[in-house]
Amino acid sequence: MPDPVAIIDYQKCHPDRCDSGVCAAMLECPNKVLRQEAFYEFPFSHPSHFCRGCAKCVQACLFEAIRVV
Ligand code: SF4
Ligand code: SF4
């Protein structure tokens, strides 16, 4: 089975509407997969960090911008 991957839908992602421009999903990720270069920037998945497929990021995002496949 392929490793899980967190995919961000940038049509639904609104960092400017998240608390102080900080991605709530990033804060919840136990493996530091999700990153922001700076507050109010779009988050992205760090290619060298392993996603465990826990879906904490999915639950944390109020805009349903993340799915794990
Ligand atoms: S992924 Fe969700 S929690 Fe993270 S910045 Fe985008 S909308 Fe906010
Ligand atoms: S599924 Fe879990 S490990 Fe993967 S990016 Fe989301 S919070 Fe991080």
User: Which residue has 């826990």 as its token pair?
Assistant: 54
- Using the predicted structure, report yes or no on whether residue 1 has a pLDDT greater than 90: no
Measured from the alpha carbon of residue 56, the closest ligand is 2
Pocket of ligand 2 (CB under 6 A): 6, 28-29, 31, 33-34, 51-57, 68
- Using the predicted structure, report yes or no on whether residue 42 has a pLDDT greater than 90: yes
The CATH number given to 6-68 is 3.30.70.20
pLDDT in the model for residue 2: 83
pLDDT in the model for residue 33: 97
Q: Residues 16-37: pLDDT tens digits?
A: 999 999 999 999 999 999 999 9
- Residue of 9, 23, 31 to mutate, ligand 2, most atoms within 8 A of C-beta: 31
pTM of structure: 0.95
What CA–CA distance (Å, rounded) separates 57 from 23? 9
User: What percent of the chain lies above the pLDDT cut of 70?
Assistant: 100
Query: How many other C-beta atoms can be found within 10 angstroms of the C-beta atom of residue 62?
Result: 12
pLDDT in the model for residue 56: 98
Two structure tokens written together for 33: 């997969």
